[in-house]
Chains A and B, each alone.
Chain A
Amino acid sequence: MSQTTHHAPGGGLQKRIETNSILLVVAILILVSIGGIVEIVPLFYIKNTIEKVDGIRPYSPLELAGYNIYVREGCYTCHSQMIRPLRDEVERYGHYSLAAESMYDHPFQWGSKRNGPDLARVGGKYSNDWQRDHLRSPRSMVPTSIMPGYPFLAETPLNGAHLAEQMRMLRVVGVPYTDAQLENAAADLTAQSAPDDPGAAALRQRYPNVVINDIASKGGVTEEDALVAYLQHLGVSVDFKLYDDKANIR
């Protein structure tokens, strides 16, 4: 093996790096981190990344549970939540999405694929009943739909045991849940599940614009109830009649 070492031609710096694995690793790290420094680091300090808008609030416990189901079932693989600033999209779906609207999503659900329609502003577009019927059997509502049915969600009781912990975790990463919201997570979950629950007023105060769900099943809150509550909250937080587009041109 005396003369078999393979050296790069050219010599100099390139040869030094290519023949010294530590140096090569360091050089790779430097090169790769340039991408991060340029694309990610500025998001932490430049002020124009997220628009200043009124009305965005953290998810209520039931909505958060629905968000978890949305992620678990992989809804994002077919539905985006990102109305791009393109004329056709704005015409169809409404105002283009703002960064602020997904700032409390961890992780965000922008998605990159639209086998189904964009869902960024689906909240309030259909009744709760429609969402239920459609989740159970999409083709009963839209005959040409290729969406799979999710009838089992209506039969699966919601496990809300860890929602309070999840909210606490989200607070650590910057979602401004208040102490009252954390303490009342379980009560708020119940209150949003029943129209005549005594906790409804407190819930509405803690989570403005909350849609109180008319839970269909007598057997308690189901995963379907949570998912519907989540869907009904999508894109309804910002009042675009009051939103100043020009101030947020960037």
Chain B
Amino acid sequence: MRRYPFERTTTMSNDTFERGKVRIDEKTGVPTTGHEWDGIEELNTPLPRWWVWTFWVTAIWGVLYCFVYPAWPTLSGGTQGLFGWNSRTEVAQEIGELQTTRAPILAKLNAASLSDIEANPELLAAARMVGSVAFVNNCAGCHGAGGQGAKGYANLNDDDWIWGGKLADIQTTIEHGARWDGDKATHSSAMPAFGRDGILTPQQISVVADHVRTYADLPNAPEPTAEGQKLYDENCAACHGADAKGNTELGAPNLVDAIWLYGSDKPAIVNRIVNGGGGVMPAWKDRLDDTTIKALTVYVHSLGGGQ
């Protein structure tokens, strides 16, 4: 009869196997498990002691944890743990401690006027510290980490201010934002869409765009024209001023300097005249507390361009 290699060749009876034929292995001195297959037996090497201890420690830890911390759901809620710990109480407590630590200096900031803060080195340093943190967290997305701005988002380092660069102006702008839907006191004036709404013809827009470029003496600017001047006086001067120096009350930018929020080439200016509108800034008075806004105001004012 042919024997297949996987067939059992020992004479050990099934009965013997089930009870386990545990013996001491001669070579290693370790007991076997009693499992045997084709003459191959398994050593019952003990688990490393560190492993066994770790196992028991974690098991005991798990049981204790269930009593110490909130763990098990009950019919009406859950176990609260021996010490009543919970994360929401803890975070409230931690923030309370933080507020206590900061309270003295924040109270001083709160009590001082914006100009007093700037005049007092201690308060200025505190305001700049609070302000810089709030700035990177809330403002840097648009205005850049260093306040350098981006196309369409104002640079806060220069001395060109759309809504005014005095302390009070900056504070108002931070509190209420610009063209922000959810704030009634927001800076709301916006440039008309001269092209889209058909106030000016494309040809007129081209002429007035050329003309506007003459004010700042931009590269490749054409000569001023009488037609351009007339169009400017009739359509632009009301907000940007007869001298084109802008009006921070209306958020109308200065057109005679070298700072151009949306670009100074002709297509960029034509685009502004065609579509009008203006940048949107969120109102922060509901997101940040008053002291933080004061600190931010001083911080932004001290970036370099404050008036």
Which A residues are closer than 8 A to B by beta carbons? 1, 3-7, 9, 11, 38, 41-42, 45-48, 84-87, 90-92, 94, 96, 124-130, 133-134, 140-143, 211-212, 245, 248-250
Of A5, A46, A48, A96, the residue contacting B14 (CB under 8 A) is: A5
Chain A residues with CB below 8 A from B150, complex form: 140-141
CB pair A124–B182 under 8 Å, yes or no, is yes
Q: Cα distance A134–B153 when bound, in Å?
A: 12
Interface members, chain B 1-50 (any A CB < 8 Å):
6-8, 13-14, 17-18, 20, 33-35, 37
How many residue pairs between the two chains, A and B, have CB atoms under 8 Å in the bound complex? 102
Chain B residues with CB below 8 A from A250, complex form: 77, 86, 88
A127-B281 contact in complex given A42-B73, A87-B94, C-beta closer than 8 Å = yes
Q: Cα distance A42–B150 when bound, in Å?
A: 51
Q: Cα distance A46–B281 when bound, in Å?
A: 43
CB pair B142–A130 under 8 Å, yes or no, is yes
Interface members, chain B 139-156 (any A CB < 8 Å):
140-142, 144, 150-153
Chain A residues with CB below 8 A from B87, complex form: 84-86
A127-B7 contact in complex given A9-B35, A85-B87, C-beta closer than 8 Å = no
Of B7, B18, B137, the residue contacting A7 (CB under 8 A) is: B18
Chain B residues with CB below 8 A from A134, complex form: 141
CB pair A125–B73 under 8 Å, yes or no, is no
Of A96, A125, A130, A141, the residue contacting B88 (CB under 8 A) is: A96
Residue in B90, B141, B180 with the greatest tally of chain A CB atoms within 10 Å: B141
A1-B7 contact in complex given A126-B141, A127-B281, C-beta closer than 8 Å = yes
- Taking the closest CB of chain A, its distance from the CB of B156, in whole angstroms, is 15
The 10 A-B residue pairs whose C-beta atoms are closest, nearest first, are: A42-B73, A127-B280, A85-B91, A87-B94, A85-B87, A9-B20, A249-B88, A3-B14, A85-B88, A7-B18
- Taking the closest CB of chain B, its distance from the CB of A243, in whole angstroms, is 12
Question: Is B56 an interface position by the 8 A CB rule?
Answer: no
- Taking the closest CB of chain B, its distance from the CB of A3, in whole angstroms, is 5
Q: Cα distance A248–B141 when bound, in Å?
A: 33
Q: Cα distance A48–B76 when bound, in Å?
A: 9
Q: Cα distance A92–B140 when bound, in Å?
A: 13
Q: Cα distance A106–B132 when bound, in Å?
A: 38
CB pair A142–B91 under 8 Å, yes or no, is no
Q: Which single residue of chain A is at the shortest CB-CB distance from B148?
A: A143
Q: Which single residue of chain A is at the shortest CB-CB distance from B137?
A: A92
Q: Which single residue of chain A is at the shortest CB-CB distance from B84?
A: A249
A129-B181 contact in complex given A46-B76, A87-B95, A94-B287, C-beta closer than 8 Å = no
Q: Cα distance A249–B33 when bound, in Å?
A: 54
CB pair A125–B287 under 8 Å, yes or no, is yes
Question: Is B279 an interface position by the 8 A CB rule?
Answer: yes
Q: Which single residue of chain A is at the shortest CB-CB distance from B181?
A: A211
CB pair B287–A129 under 8 Å, yes or no, is no
Q: Which single residue of chain B is at the shortest CB-CB distance from A96?
A: B91
Q: Which single residue of chain B is at the shortest CB-CB distance from A84?
A: B87
Question: Is B55 an interface position by the 8 A CB rule?
Answer: no
